[in-house]
Structure 1
Amino acid sequence: MDHHDEKAHGVRITARGPRAAIEVDGSRLDPGSLSGYTISHQEGEPPHVVLYVENDDAVEFEGLARVAVARPVPIELTVAEFLAAIDPEELESAVLARPDLDTGPYSLTRAMLTQLGEWARGD
């Protein structure tokens, strides 16, 4: 890890159950100022930590993971974007080819919802 990277910060996260204590460069963050965090890491790169803030003025950083501050995206926007990206012809073709499609009441709708769920999970 390159300790000379100016964008890198020392990060310590101690998680116990649903709570976590987070320190950036030795300073503990107010737990009420954050709604969550994610950590990702790719070989050859420092870990990447994203902190989700509750309000803009509650978190302060001075500036060894890369730290980004983000607001959570409302689930409604994520779902709306996902549905807007669905090609109706592709959905219909996939559903009509499903082995679990039957002829009972609401079977087409059930199959479409199942297919959309599988696509959302990346199946």
Structure 2
Amino acid sequence: MEHDDNSQHHVQIIAHGGRADVTIDGKQVDPSAVKAYSISHLAGEQPEVLLHVADRNDAQWSGTARVAVADLPDPGPAAAVFLDAIDPEALERAALARPDLGTEPCSLTKAMLTQLGEWARGL
């Protein structure tokens, strides 16, 4: 992949423990071709991804890709909508009927939070 200062490429890196899957512009990079990568972002500048190739002779791309970094969405508004839709009576019934409801302090609150989490995940 050729690079010039005006081009931008979509880079996706999914790390799995000690290895990572790297995709550039939708094309999977051979995992054995990348020995390391680093991501940097200085205030006021474009973020950069630097890929260190394992063997330059087999590399089919070179250069630096500029990437955009998206902020994770604030979960607060979605959580507020979810909680506003909860029927308090239904939550209390469900929490009291849970087989894992304990007798220790705060067990009802714990059961309610567990129930809310399950409902949020669609369980």
TM-score, normalising length: structure 1:
0.47
Whichever of the two has the greater Rg, that structure is 2
TM-score, normalising length: structure 2:
0.47
